[in-house]
Structure 1
Amino acid sequence: MTRTSRRWAIAAAAFLAAPVLAGCAAGFDATTVKHYSPTEARATTVRGIQISQGFVLGPEPGGKLPKGGSAPVYLSLTNIEQQDDQLVGVAVNNAGTVKLAAPIVLPRDKRVSTSGAAAPGATPTAGTAGPPLVIEGLTKELAGGEYIAMSLQFANAGAVDLTLPVVARSREFATWAPAPAPTTQQTPTTGPTPAATATPVPTATATLTATEDASTGGH
């Protein structure tokens, strides 16, 4: 290789490395340089439970989920053991409290999604309104790019610990349902009791008396 060609090769390598170096400089929690897809969010197999995707759905781009708010957890699970299993509980580490609408049944060798709409090739969790796994009472704001440690509790497989990323609700995640908005109870308004309406006295007696007087006068 000539000296000129070596200079061109070095310049090209520096140009290609620039975006990577810029991404590293942006920091660990920078969401602008992170590109998540469901399969790369988290994938692992522990004690016969295969987790082919997993993430916490964050806010719209540029927004934040408030402290005290809620965030849904999406998982795609396959039980590769010889008997059926169930996801019976989830605990998060200093992030809030997970509400599990009902135990999630995991038939043998069948992929089950915890989303309202099933991921390709997965069976949706039925009988729930909205995502069946929701972190409630968030202990801090979430903007996307954070990680949340949690423990999944299965009836047979036991506890499975993992860390899931918080992804912004955009691009391939734009159609995933957010956590349902909290419902507020309407407080009935109290006011003065309406005054009773007076019922007029019937005039039937007066009419009868007048008729009798008229008959008497005729005689």
Structure 2
Amino acid sequence: MTRISRHRVIAAAAFLAAAPALAGCGAGSDAITNQPYTPTEALTKQVNGINISQAFFLGPDSGATIAPGAATPLYLSVVNTNQAPDQLVGVGVDSALGTAKVSSPVTLPVQTRVSIGNPTPSILIEGLKKPLRGGESIQVQLQFANAGLVPLTIPVITRSREFTSLPQAPGVSAAPTPTPTPTASASASTDSMEDMGHSTEGTDG
């Protein structure tokens, strides 16, 4: 065997030995990106190794209102892409809007998608100082134990479409009941009955 042939055999053997490890790395990435996922309501954002691909406050049903003094829950989908676990420990909002409350720190394992708020909301803005009807945006700062502060502008969405299965926000007023309007066929039927009555009176005379 020539020297060149020997080098080619060694290179081929090294590539075959590395192939399983490369395949394992690819599977680890796909384990995150290939998971079924609800269409996002906010722009994807990655800061300090924290990837947030969905964020929204749940508002009222269409046509209803979350009244001042009530609360709205926050929903997040988060992946911690750092080398060590982290925790979401706090949320800050403008005091002119209300007070943010985190019931308990949310643990974020490495390379694992965590859905915060589902099935039980754990982050709320309480004591709202203005009504919410859906369509507003709220600026928040998420506080992580290791990753630090992550600022976000988060939309308030109405409880409709795929979000109707989520529990209604506390203190939501009911949507106004639409006033029924008479249909054209009903009006025509009434006019016809009146004409028949006039015709009968003329015959009796």
For Structure 1 versus Structure 2, the TM-score category normalised by the shorter chain is 0.5 to 0.7
Q: Could you say which residue in structure 2 is the equivalent of 1:108?
A: 110
State the one-letter code of the partner of 1:154. Answer: F
Output the TM-score relative to the length of structure 2. 0.62
**Pair 1:147 & 2:149 matched:** no
Checking the alignment, whether the CA contact within 8 Å between 1:64 and 1:143 is kept in structure 2 is yes
Is the helix fraction higher in 1 or 2? 2
| CA distance, structure 2, for counterparts of residue 69 and residue 139 of structure 1 | 9
| Residues 52 and 78, structure 2, Cα contact 8 Å, conserved in 1 | yes
Alpha-carbon distance between aligned partners in 1 of 2:98 and 2:122, rounded to the nearest angstrom? 16
Q: Hey, what does 2:168 align to over in structure 1?
A: 178
Aligned length: 134
After superposition, the C-alpha distances for 1:41-64 in whole angstroms (9 at most, x for unaligned) are: 232111100001000000011000
1:80 aligns with 2:81: yes
The alpha-carbon deviation at position 178 of structure 1 amounts to: 2.7
- TM superposition outliers: structure 1 runs of 4+ over 4 Å: none
- Given the alignment, which residue of 91, 97, 103 partners 1:95? 97
- In percent, how many aligned pairs have the same letter? 51
Q: What CA deviation, in whole Å up to 9, does each residue of 1:82-112 have, x standing for no partner?
A: 0000000001123211111100000000010
- Which residue does the alignment assign to 2:59? 58
Give the aligned partner of residue 169 of structure 1: 159
> Is the 8 Å Cα contact of residues 73 and 117 (structure 2) preserved in structure 1?
no
Q: Within 2, Cα distance between the matches of 1:106 and 1:141? A: 32
> In structure 2, how many angstroms separate the alpha carbons of the residues matched to 1:176 and 1:140?
22
**Aligned equivalent of 1:136, options 117, 122, 126:** 126
1:173, distance to aligned residue in structure 2 (A): 1.2
What RMSD over aligned residues (CA atoms) do the two structures have, in Å? 1.7
Give the TM-score of the pair, scaled to structure 1.
0.58
Provide the C-alpha distance between the structure 2 equivalents of 1:40 and 1:98, rounded to a whole number of angstroms.
21
With a CA cutoff of 8 Å and minimum separation of 6, indicate the structure with the bigger relative contact order.
2
Q: Which runs of 5+ in 1 are unaligned?
A: 1-36, 118-129, 183-219
